[in-house]
Structure 1
Amino acid sequence: MWGYAFAPADWEQGNAARIMYVHVPAAWVSMAGYAALAVCSFFSIVWRHPLADLAAEEIGPVGAGFTFVCLVSGALWGKPMWGAYWVWDARLTSVLVLFFLYLGHIALIRAFDNREHGYRAAAILALVGAVNLPIIVFSVQWWNTLHQGNTISISGGSKIYITMLYPLLIASVGFYMCFLTLVTARLCAAIMERKTRSLLLAAAERAA
């Protein structure tokens, strides 16, 4: 809310730039979420840890949701800047690929009668798809794109006014906390569901 109510308008883009307080945090979270998904998939393939499979399964829908928010907010921002909601720009296209990778991961888990086979296939897709993350980050440097370059650098030299940077960082913290809360809630619910199913199955076997 700080970014929309109190932060100044951009000198070039005007009030349209306020969309960045949703768009940029959503983009960061969507990439971080996929990185977490890939890490869980790595643990799943190497150590066959059931919790890694479960965590990856619950990260997928939440990450897809944030990526969808990123795409929609980017389209709303692009319309006044580029005159179109969508262009086949390298950055936009690679984020769209990220969205489809999330959806593919969700679909593969449910595509097999044997859930373990679904987890393995989805984990392989997640690891292969991780190649897309550096493409998203460096696309504006590797290709001549309409999308603006990176305005924030962790090594310094950020190209954004401090009065706009602070609310952007605060919004980002909120988005990350929202992501972690949703994933944690989904994961806890999934664990409880699995435990309940196991207890009911054990009770049914004893009764038989």
Structure 2
Amino acid sequence: MINYLANPIRFLKFSKIATPVFGALTILTMIWGLYLALIKSPPAIEHGQAVRMMYVHVPAAWCAMMAYTALTIASVVSFIWRHPLADSAAKSFAVPGAAFTFLALITGSLWGKPAWGTWWQWDGRMTSVLILFFIYVSYLAIWSVIPERKKAARLAAILAMVGFINIPIIKFSVDWWNTLHQPASLSTPGAPGMPPEILWPLMMMVAAYSFLFGWLSLRGIEADIIRSRKARDQKAPAAQATIETF
């Protein structure tokens, strides 16, 4: 399947079907998730109504790390096999990834004030997420500043691969250092589970964010393929004229 979609023409045929599907799934899960999160779910015992910020913050943080993981995988493919479609994918993962990271930082700060009494704390989790945002910005800056696509792709891929070390730091920061964040309640074996009335809205919002990430990524790859084609078409007449001149 991956080899099949590595061809830009075949990918565009696939995305012509997949993009509207992801868009529809995003709308459906987002509407249902917001209904569960804002109306059906009860306030938490400890945080009261402020717990509703969790339904925005946690999915954003999760998708920020998911997007960077996908970006790193695409960058490895680009760096080793130098496949142009991998570059398009990596760039397209970076834009929503940066947006999700920024949203996680803002909503985390808004949630932190009523929950912990502070807007910001330089603990391991918050600091590492802030570093992730700077990595995203630096990655996108490389593509914006360097006009030569191949050179930009190589440098951006190196930054992405080196920056991936921050992902396990984010994940395990609550275990390694003292932090205001609670330990993982879903992924850690034996961790206390969430009540279903809180868990299901959270999972629905995670699904909605994930479908949104997929939709944005597909649109981004489509746009980059079309942009690359136009750039090649503009260069082709000049090259042909040079040959005819000789």
TM-score, reference length from structure 1? 0.94
1:61 corresponds to which of 78, 95, 111: 95
1:130 corresponds to which of 164, 187, 207: 164
Cα drift, residue 26 of structure 1:
0.4
Partner residue, 1:183: 217
Cα drift, residue 152 of structure 1:
1.3
Q: 1:65-103: per-residue Cα shift (whole Å, max 9, x none)? A: 010011001000001122221110110000001101101
Partner residue, 1:6: 40
Cα drift, residue 122 of structure 1:
1.0
Q: Aligned pair 1:77/2:111, yes or no?
A: yes
Q: Where do 5+ consecutive residues of structure 2 fail to align?
A: 1-33
Partner residue, 1:196: 230
Q: Aligned pair 1:37/2:88, yes or no?
A: no
Distance 2:83 2:188 in 1: 34
Q: 1:34-76: per-residue Cα shift (whole Å, max 9, x none)? A: 0001101111111111111111112111100010011001000
1:170 corresponds to which of 192, 200, 204: 204
2:139 corresponds to which of 80, 83, 105: 105
Q: Mark the CA change 1:158 to 1:52 in structure 2 (over 3 Å): closer, same or farther.
A: farther
Distance 1:117 1:196 in 2: 19
Amino acid at match of 2:154: R
Cα drift, residue 205 of structure 1:
4.8
Q: Aligned pair 1:150/2:184, yes or no?
A: yes
Q: 1:106-125: per-residue Cα shift (whole Å, max 9, x none)? A: 11223324222221111111
Distance 2:190 2:235 in 1: 57
Which piece of structure 1 moves more, 129-138 or 151-160?
151-160
State the secondary structure of the residue aligned to 2:145: coil
Contact (CA 8 Å) 2:57, 2:107: kept in 1 or not?
yes
Distance 1:181 1:125 in 2: 25
Amino acid at match of 1:28: W
Tell me which of the two structures has the higher relative contact order, counting C-alpha pairs closer than 8 angstroms and 6 or more residues apart: 2
Percent identity, aligned pairs only?
44
Q: Where do 5+ consecutive residues of structure 1 fail to align?
A: none
Contact (CA 8 Å) 2:184, 2:191: kept in 1 or not?
no
Cα drift, residue 193 of structure 1:
1.7
RMSD over aligned Cα atoms: 1.6
Q: Aligned pair 1:92/2:130, yes or no?
A: no
Cα drift, residue 192 of structure 1:
1.2
Amino acid at match of 2:134: F
TM-score, reference length from structure 2? 0.80
State the secondary structure of the residue aligned to 1:110: helix
